[in-house]
Amino acid sequence: MGKTNGLFFKTEKENLLLGVKHNVSISNGILYKRRKHMDQVLFFDTTCRDGKQAPGNNHGPADTVRIAHQAAALGINIFEAGFAVSSELDFQSVSRVAKEVDGIVPCSLARASTKDIEAAARALEGALVSPRIHTFIATSDIHMEHKLQMSRDQVLEKVADSVRFARTFVDDVEWSAEDAMRSDFEFLKLAVREAIFAGARTVNVPDTVGYLMPGMIREKVSQLIAEVPEINEYGVVVSVHCHDDLDCATANTLAGIEGGARQVECTINGIGERAGNTHYAPVVMALSLHKDYFGVTHSINTQAIGDTARLLSSVLQKPVPSNLPVVGENVFAHGSGIHQHGVSGNTQTYEIMTPDSVGWKAEGFPLSSQSGRRGLSERLRLLGYELGENELRVVYDRFESYATGRSLVSNNELHMLMQQHRCGVDHAAHRIVLDDISYAKVGDVVGASVTLCYGGVMHHGNGRGAGPFAAAKQALSEALRACDVSLADISLVHYDLEKGEGGADAIGQAHITVQSETMTGFGYAENVDTVLASVQAYVQAVNHLLLVGIPKDQVDV
Ligand code: MN
């Protein structure tokens, strides 16, 4: 027996001593309690780790926490919040999810090094739910030779050391064999055993480069379970992690489940490196629709799928691809119009699932500059605006110029565009017009004055504040009160100012939402003078509330 087996037995002996403690602590974990016969597939979300490795996905700690709360509501079991050692932001993401999000197992990725594992453990300190450390090392010859420059024996030693070290911090350790699916199978089995004897209770065999076909994955997973008896002996969960390079990620993940995998690593909307990771939603729906075939359960609340897709889309400012299975805008839109149910008399003629069952809402999708006139018209109808052909043409031009250069146009922005359009066209005589604004710094404070024209009469207001917008806002309130006492009840509930590129000449874009007791109004304006843009947007929002007005409960602020 060579060195490999020596290590193997040494580890086994140590673990036999630790075994009782491990089994007790693990069977007490909240996740595993329900899993009597290994018939539940656990969903492991890596949207904020692997998903973040795709270009343009730079969600920080606050967004990671929002996504984690949604993942918990969705019923995801384990949430990989980041790679703690890789950056301060990732560390914060892991730490905040661990401390703030209940009902989900927080997890950090770590390479097979003490530095990585210590960082992961530190980030997971104080977690609300028993946390997981996910450590990995490559096991394929190509990775070991060219990336790690390590021999097989050295890699096996690292596997044991890293898992054992991670177990000194947490009970729940997942070990991944990077590039497992291209690894020599006999060597992969040795490495999996090392990890199990060192205390890993989840073993992940990723198709890191998205290379294999479904039948191959099914075969590999079932062979691994059959030929490494310790997997069953120790109640180890085998996991798959697939990539979509050959458009097989969903099929491969389902094949992995058929082969015996009971954890699947996925992302929301399938984001991830290169062609992306497995999109969890079609996997969930396949398991639900073919319950008898797969014979497994899951904890996903399918009605939260739609909201989850839209949340990620708004965090990343990227539209949900319209043909993305289960959640895309076209998925339940038959033929030319959206949602023409009843065309055939029975929705099952064309649908294998219902929009309600996956929380799909026609009006939930932000539009983009690619949206056509029909799409805009349909959306506006759902928001309560019926437009004739001529009006639609005018509004579409306004929409197109607004949408160009933006990734998404939200429902609130559509309300705003309608307000700009209708206030300008129909209500010119009744609207409040900003006639003049001036502001100046006097000592430590800024003084501002605003003049509004309302019903043909000029009304003035003065204000003071620490900054120009605060001063202008006070002056504006006074002027509005002078126009009409009832305007005093309108309050600012959202203010967002973005500065474009171009230094001193950059255009400031102000978005404002105001509310009265029952109604909401939106305003938008752009100007190089950001104070002017803000006040213009404010006045627009007030006009919108007065002239068009949207009932408060119909908008998201
Ligand atoms: Mn990956």
Integer Cα distance of 189 and 211 in angstroms: 20
Residue 170 CB neighbours (<10 A): 20
Residue 516 lies in a domain: yes
Give 535 Cα–ligand 1 centroid separation in angstroms: 48
Distance 244 CA to ligand 1 centre (A): 10
In DSSP terms, 134 is beta-bridged to 109, 174
Output the CA 99–ligand 1 centroid distance in Å: 25
Cα(448) to centroid(ligand 1), Å: 55
Residue 529 Cα to ligand 1 midpoint, Å, equals 46
- The burial of 312, by beta-carbon neighbours within 10 Å (0-12 exposed, 13-18 middle, 19 or more buried), is given as buried
Distance 276 CA to ligand 1 centre (A): 8
Taking the CA atoms of the chain, what radius of gyration do you get in angstroms?
Answer: 29
* Same-domain status, 144 and 285: yes
The alpha carbon of 197 and the centre of ligand 1 are apart by a number of angstroms equal to 25
pLDDT at 288: 96
Contact criterion met (CB below 8 Å) for 418 and 451 = no
Listed in sequence order, the residues at least 6 apart from 304 whose beta carbon sits closer than 8 Å to its beta carbon are: 70, 73, 74, 75, 359
**Distance from Cα 97 to the centre of ligand 1, integer Å:** 21
Q: How far is the CA of 50 from the centre of ligand 1 (A)?
A: 5
Q: Are residues 397 and 439 in the same domain?
A: no
How confident is the model at residue 462, as a pLDDT?
A: 94
166 lies in the same domain as 210: yes
Domain holding 272: CATH number? 3.20.20.70
Ligand 1 centroid – CA 425 distance (Å): 53
Q: Are residues 197 and 293 in the same domain?
A: yes
63 & 205 share domain = yes
Q: For position 407, what pLDDT does the model report?
A: 77
> CB atoms < 10 A from the CB of 164, how many?
20
The answer to whether the beta carbons of residues 510 and 537 sit under 8 Å apart is yes
- Asked, for residue 334, whether it belongs to a domain, the answer is no
Ligand 1 mean position to 296 CA, how many Å?
Answer: 24
Please check whether residues 467 and 421 belong to one and the same domain.
no
Residue 28 Cα to ligand 1 midpoint, Å, equals 30
Contact 206, 242 (CB under 8 A): yes
Residue 284 lies in a domain: yes
- How far away, in angstroms, is 55 Cα from ligand 1 center? 14
Measured in Å, residue 273 CA sits from the centre of ligand 1 at 7
Whole-number Å distance, alpha carbon 240 to ligand 1 midpoint, is 10
Rounded distance from Cα 353 to ligand 1 centre (Å):
29
What CA–CA distance (Å, rounded) separates 270 from 281?
9
Q: In what order do the strands lie in the sheet with 445-454?
A: 433-442, 445-454, 457-465
Phi-psi region of 179 (alpha: psi -120 to 50; beta: other; left: phi over 0): left
Cα(366) to ligand 1 centroid in Å equals 28
Q: How far is the CA of 536 from the centre of ligand 1 (A)?
A: 48
- Is the residue at 79 inside a domain? yes
Domain end among 382, 401, 426? 426
Strand duo 491-499 + 457-465: pairing: unpaired
- Dist. CA 102 → ligand 1 center (Å): 25
CA of 36 from ligand 1 middle (Å) equals 29
Whether 305 is covered by a domain: the verdict is no
| Ligand 1 center–CA 87 separation, angstroms | 18
**Does residue 538 share a domain with residue 406?**
no
**325 vs 340: CA distance, rounded Å:** 19
Q: Tens of pLDDT along the chain (557 residues)?
A: 333 333 333 344 444 443 333 333 333 333 333 334 479 999 999 999 999 999 888 889 999 999 999 999 999 999 999 999 999 999 999 999 999 999 999 999 999 999 999 999 999 999 999 999 999 999 999 999 999 999 999 999 999 999 999 999 999 999 999 999 999 999 999 999 999 999 999 999 999 999 999 999 999 999 999 999 999 999 999 999 999 999 999 999 999 999 999 999 999 999 999 999 999 999 999 999 999 999 999 999 999 999 999 889 888 888 888 899 999 888 887 543 444 444 445 666 677 899 899 998 877 777 888 888 888 998 888 877 888 888 899 899 989 988 888 878 888 788 778 877 776 644 555 678 888 899 998 888 999 999 988 877 888 999 999 999 999 999 999 998 888 867 778 889 888 888 776 677 778 888 888 999 888 888 888 888 889 999 988 988 888 888 777 787 777 65
In-domain check, residue 323: no
Question: Are 165 and 26 part of one and the same domain?
Answer: yes
Q: Which of 482, 526, 528 is nearest to 503 (CA)?
A: 528
CA of 210 to the centre of ligand 1 (A): 9
Q: Given CA atoms 344, 349, 354, 355 in this order, what sign does their dihedral have?
A: negative
Tell me, in angstroms, the distance from the centre of ligand 1 to residue 1's CA.
35
Say how many Å lie between the CA of residue 311 and the centre of ligand 1: 22
Last residue of a domain, one of 248, 271, 300: 300
* C-alpha of residue 207 to centroid of ligand 1, in Å: 8
Distance 209 CA to ligand 1 centre (A): 8
What is the distance of C-alpha 13 from the center of its chain? Answer: 43
**What CATH number has the domain bearing residue 548?**
3.30.160.270
Q: How far, in Å, from the CA of 208 to the mean position of ligand 1? A: 5
State the sign of the Cα–Cα–Cα–Cα dihedral 59, 64, 69, 70: positive
How many C-beta neighbours within 10 Å does residue 2 have?
8
Cα–ligand 1 centroid distance for 125 (angstroms): 25
Residues 75 and 224 in one domain: yes
One domain, residues 21 and 50: yes
Distance CA(152)–CA(72), nearest Å, equals 39
Q: Among 426, 448, 482, which residue terminates a domain?
A: 426
For residue 476, how far is its CA from the centre of ligand 1 (angstroms)?
53
Distance 277 CA to ligand 1 centre (A): 7
Residue 65 Cα, ligand 1 centroid: separation in angstroms? 21
Q: Give the distance (Å) from ligand 1 centre to CA of residue 136.
A: 11
User: What is the predicted pLDDT for the residue at 90?
Assistant: 96
- Same domain membership, residue 52 and residue 74: yes
Taking the centre of ligand 1 as the mean of its atom positions, its distance from the CA of residue 344, in whole angstroms, is 42
In a domain, 148, yes or no: yes
- How many domains, the chain? 3
Same domain as 211, residue 77: yes
CA distance 181 to 240: 10
371 Cα: distance to centroid of ligand 1 (angstroms):
32
Q: How far is the CA of 329 from the centre of ligand 1 (A)?
A: 27
Asked, for residue 277, whether it belongs to a domain, the answer is yes
Give one word for 501, left, alpha or beta, with left for phi > 0 and alpha for psi -120 to 50.
Answer: beta
- φ and ψ at 165, to 5 degrees? -65, -45
Domain hosting 545: range is 428-554
- What burial letters (b/e) apply to 41-78, b meaning 16+ CB within 10 Å? bbbbbbbbbbbbebeebebebebbbbbbbbbbebbbbb
| Ligand 1: centre distance to CA 511 (Å) | 38
User: How many angstroms is it from 385 CA to the middle of ligand 1?
Assistant: 45
- With residue 178 as reference, give the H or E element that holds it: strand 172-178
For ligand 1, the distance from its centroid to the CA atom of residue 241, given in whole angstroms, is: 7
